[in-house]
Amino acid sequence: MCAQWCGTCRDYQSLFAQLQAEFAPMTFVWVDVEDHADWVDPIEVENFPTLLMALGETPLFFGTLTPHVETLRRL
């Protein structure tokens, strides 16, 4: 979960496109907390950027992480 005004968050947009190409059929989605407040309010995002990785409805990772492609690949 990100915000357009957050520079670190914006760095994720290009990484998501890169990772989507590498790891198809996985899905990488940018969720702006201001545009999609109804989705993220129940999650109570406190820091940006916050990643939620899930398999179906099962969360596998939830937390803040800087946009380093090698770290994301390892996850």
- Picking from 71, 69, 74, the residue whose alpha carbon sits closest to that of residue 12 is 69
Residue partners of 49: CB distance under 8 A and separation at least 6: 1, 2, 6, 8, 9, 12, 64, 65, 66, 67
For residue 58, the model assigns a pLDDT of: 92
pLDDT digits (tens, 9 = 90+) for 3-25: 888 888 888 888 888 888 988 88
What residues does each domain of the chain span?
7-74
Alpha-carbon distance of 40 to 73, in angstroms, equals: 25
The percentage of residues in the chain with a pLDDT greater than 90, rounded to a whole number, is 1
